[in-house]
Structure 1
Amino acid sequence: MEFKDLEIFQAVAEQGTITGAAKQLNYVQSNLTARIHKLETELNTPLFNRHRRGMSLTPEGKKLLTYSQRILSLTEEMKQAVQNQTEPSGKLEIGTVETVIHLPKILSSYIQNYQNVDLSIYTGVTETLQRKVLNHKLDGAFVTESNFHPDLVAHQVFQEELVLISDPSASSLEELKEKPFLCFSKGCGYRARLENWYKDENIAPKRVMEFGTLETILQSVKMGLGVTFVPRSAVVHLEQNGLITCHSLPEKYSTINTLFIRRADTYLTATIEKFIETIEVNK
């Protein structure tokens, strides 16, 4: 078994098709098919279910994927540790929730100082980002405070106040209790905080509507569709222009920390070390 076999196996698992994996790796499809068959023969077990729409992992394939991710991650970590580069370079993949107000400043500073780094940014909710960091799919992520997995280490970025926002016509919290709750999918730290307030106040929202982007949620609130719970810093411009109304909730629900998480057991390369330093300087 070669490392390249594991790279091909992972690509097919992620893409769900030989065609997609071949495009990703810039390989000939027949070569990928042969390598997958070779790997299945060596392990004496089928790794994929083949069907009309593509390929999905068998239970044995899912087990191999976990080990494969760890092996390839350790291989890359080994290369970086041995090379001991003092100048950040290579690929850096960072995740973030959508409302990190200082993120543009952090990224701009880092890119200007370390131009040999290929930096990619992915958005998502805290729970999803935490899982991706644990599975070595992201080098780190900006997330909201929660009960983190013990394999993760967290760096404080900043603290914010969450506010319940509505269209300007609503004047009291009592009115808002009847409004639909507009939010991200489960796993969002802001959503969890407001759900705790609802629970403690014995409120059952008449409708919960999930959206994929913050911009869509804010536009919907401005149109009077419902309410949401976001950092005040993300909506202060809307409040100043009279487009929304902010409503404060007790501190136990409204005070939240944004953190940068990474795996505790990975080698701290110059690339990620300088990124953490940049966060400290610009937070």
Structure 2
Amino acid sequence: MDLKQLEHFVAVAEERHFTRASRRLNLVQSGLSASIRALEDDLGGPLFMRSTRRVALTPAGEVLLDEARRVLAAARDARNAVTQVHGLARGRLSIGAIHSLAPFIDLPASLGQFRAAFGGIDIELTLDGSRALIDEVREGRIDIAFTQPCTPAPDDLGFRMFACEGMVVVCAAHHRFAGASGLRLADLVDETFADLRHEWTVRRLVDQSFAALGLQRRTGFEANDMPMLLELAAQGLAIAMVPESVAAARVRESHGAPVAMATLREAEEPCWELAAVFKGRDGEPLIPVARAFLDLLKLPQVPA
């Protein structure tokens, strides 16, 4: 058993899905499956109950999950301690991020924890679109950008995947799609859409999903943040497509107009990805202060 196997196990346990976990880890699915099988062989029994769409933890897997998170957290803490000894007393950390990172990353809280651990490091934060952030990382103006990864990944940049999540349809609570499951993209073409602007990776992902099936749709509203898409949908003015966690968080809210969501067929469901992009390779930034910040995050952080 090694740390990488535990990181792989935690990713599958949290995603409840091997394909999504492999995307999040930037690892081929066969390699992930082999890693989990080796871990199960080492521990003497199955950790997951597998089905065609989802996986569930066995009782042994439930026990291991808590322990694996504790071990990985201890490894991060140990690395941070060594990093402090080697010298992060002074310097600068420049972070870039797309809008609407929550609920995937609580960036303000993470920056606060970093400031508490490394009080001599100045922190800068920039919010921008994916393309601009990646360019700034490449040009050295930003140390880490939290954004959608490039496809294909540039040779001069590294990244760690933090999320790979299916997108869902959001609509007004009284809409005919409210609560539906297994929708086809073709079912949506007669609807008016609320979309992000073209420079957003989410918009390009949705556009590419329809184009791949030869479908056309109508955008009636364009916005620069996901909360606006959700409010337009809640008012019955349009439907929108957003990551599932973003939609679920809005559905749970008690204030404002109610919003509902519907799921797509898995074969047609776009996968929204979030990664930390930086100058580096093999999942490790070249800049020590960037490595320290990523190790501090309370999230799975697995090199490719």
Q: CA deviation at 1:274?
A: 0.4
Q: Distance in 2 between matches of 1:250 and 1:196?
A: 16
Equivalent residues in 2 for 1:215-254 (5 A)? 215-241=227-253, 243-251=258-266, 253-254=269-270
The corresponding residue for 1:170 is 175
1:282 counterpart = 2:299 = yes
What SS does the aligned partner of 1:282 have? coil
Instruction: After superposition, give the CA deviation of every residue in 1:62-113 in whole Å (9 maximum; x if it has no partner).
Output: xxxxxxxxxxxxxxxxxxxxxx961253322211122322233433332322
Instruction: Report if the CA contact (8 A) 2:93-2:143 is conserved.
Output: yes
Q: State the alpha-carbon separation in 2 of the partners of residues 114 and 181 from structure 1.
A: 45
- CA offsets, 1:105-127, max 9 Å, x none? 43333232222222222222222
Q: How big is the shift at 1:201?
A: 4.0
Root-mean-square deviation (Å): 2.8
Q: What residue in structure 2 maps to residue 272 of structure 1?
A: 290
Counterpart residue identity of residue 133, structure 2: L
Residue 90 of structure 2 aligns with an amino acid whose one-letter code is S
Change in Cα spacing, 1:88 to 1:278, as seen in structure 2 (3 Å) is farther
Shift of residue 257, structure 1, vs aligned partner: 2.7
State the match for 2:91 in structure 1. Answer: 90
Partner of 2:56: none
Specify whether residues 112 and 158 from structure 1 end up closer, same or farther in structure 2 by C-alpha distance, changes over 3 A only.
farther
- State the Cα distance separating 1:262 from its structure 2 match: 0.7
Does the alignment pair 1:185 with 2:197?
yes
Which runs of 5 or more residues in structure 2 are unaligned? 1-84, 178-182
Q: Is the 8 A contact 2:168 2:247 kept in 1?
A: no
Aligned equivalent of 1:81: none
Output one character per residue of 1:172-223: Cα deviation in whole Å (capped at 9) or x when no partner: 3577433333222224232222112322443322235331222222222222
- Alignment of structure 1 residues 115-130 onto 2, 5 Å: 115-130=119-134
Cα gap change, 1:131 to 1:269, in 2 (>3 Å): closer
Contact 1:88 1:274 in 2 (8 A): no
Once residues 98 and 190 of structure 1 are traced to their aligned partners in structure 2, the CA distance between those partners, rounded to angstroms, is: 11
Whole-angstrom distance in 2 between the partners of 1:116 and 1:244: 44
C-alpha contact (below 8 Å) 2:138/2:157 kept by paired residues:
yes
CA pair 163-89 structure 1, distance change in 2 beyond 3 A: farther
1:161 corresponds to 2:166: yes
Cα displacement (A) at 1:138: 1.4
Alpha-carbon shift at residue 267 of structure 1 (Å): 7.9
SS at match of 2:87: coil
Is this contact kept in 2: 1:140–1:260, CA < 8 A? yes
Structure 1 match to 2:217? 205
- Amino acid in the other structure paired with 2:99: E
1:217-253 per-position Cα deviation (integer Å, ceiling 9, x unaligned): 2222222222222222223132235821212224453
Q: Percent identity?
A: 15
| Contact kept? 1:88, 1:270, Cα under 8 Å | no
Task: Please state if 1:257 is matched with 2:273.
Answer: yes
Confirm or deny: 8 A CA contact 1:89 1:271 kept in the other structure: no
Count of residues in Structure 1 that have an aligned counterpart in Structure 2: 199
Instruction: Give the TM-score of the pair, scaled to structure 2.
Output: 0.57
Larger Rg: 1
TM-score where L is the length of structure 1: 0.61
In structure 2, C-alpha distance between the alignment counterparts of 1:208 and 1:202, rounded to whole Å: 20
- Give the secondary structure class of the aligned counterpart of 1:207: strand
Answer yes or no: is the 8 Å Cα contact 2:145–2:278 preserved in 1. yes
Q: Residue type of the partner of 1:261?
A: V
Task: Summarize the Cα distance change of 1:196–1:216 in structure 2 as closer, same or farther, 3 Å threshold.
Answer: same
- Structure 1 gap segments, 5+ residues each: 1-83
Q: The residue matched to 2:231 in structure 1 has which SS?
A: helix
Q: Does 1:103 align with 2:121?
A: no
